Amino acid sequence: MTLDETRPGQVFRIVSISDDLARLQAIRFGITEGARAVCESVLPGGPVVVRKGMQEMALGRALARRIQVEPVEG
């Protein structure tokens, strides 16, 4: 599934980020392929807010669609 399909509270592992620039920027935030994070909020038609530890980030919908994730049991 892709990141935009996650629901608040869902814990997931990032499988791949198919946007070169975003992938590089995300590594710096600690949001890397293989990292575990949790979906905090999904704005209708808008960005997805994810949290890893205390780090919160918002990703635009178009970007979220290019991020493959797999659900992890919480």
Partner 1 sequence: MAQDCCGVAVAEVHGDDRKVVLVGNPNVGKSAVFHGLTGVYVEVSNFPGTTVDISSGRMGKSVIYDTPGVYGISAFNEEERVARDVLLQGDVVVNVVDACHLDRDLFLTVQLIDMGYPMVVALNMMDEARANGLAIDVRALSEELGVEVIPTVATRGQGIEELREAVGRARQGRRTPSIEPLLPSIPSPVDAVLVAEDDEDACRRHGVTPPGTREEVYRLRRERVNQIVARVVRETDEGASLATRLGRLTLHPVWGSLMLIAFLVAVYYILGVGIAQWVVGITEELWMGEYYIPWITELGSRVLAPESFLGQVLFGEFGLLTMTVSYIFGLLLPMVLGFYLMLSFMEDSGYLPRVAVLVDRWMNKVGLNGRAIIPTILGFGCVTMATMTTRLLGSQRERTIATFLLSLTIPCSAQMAVIATMLAPLGPAYFVAFGLILFLMYGLAGMLLNRLLPGESTPLLIDLPPMRLPHLGNVLRKTLLKTKMFITEAGPIFAAGSVLISVMAAWGILDGLQNALAPITVGWLGLPREAANAFIMGFVRRDFGAAGLYSLPLTSHQVMVALTTITLFVPCIASVMMILKERSTREGVLIWATDLVIAIFTGGIVHRILW
13 binds partner 1 (CB under 8 A): no
Residues 6+ apart with CB under 8 A from 38: 9, 10, 11, 12, 50, 51, 52
Of 16, 18, 53, 72, the one binding partner 1 (CB under 8 A) is 53
What's the min distance (Å) between Cβ of 2 and partner 1?
14
What's the min distance (Å) between Cβ of 70 and partner 1?
19
Any idea of the CA torsion for 55, 61, 65, 67, to the nearest 10 degrees? -20
Of 38, 39, 63, 69, the one binding partner 1 (CB under 8 A) is 63
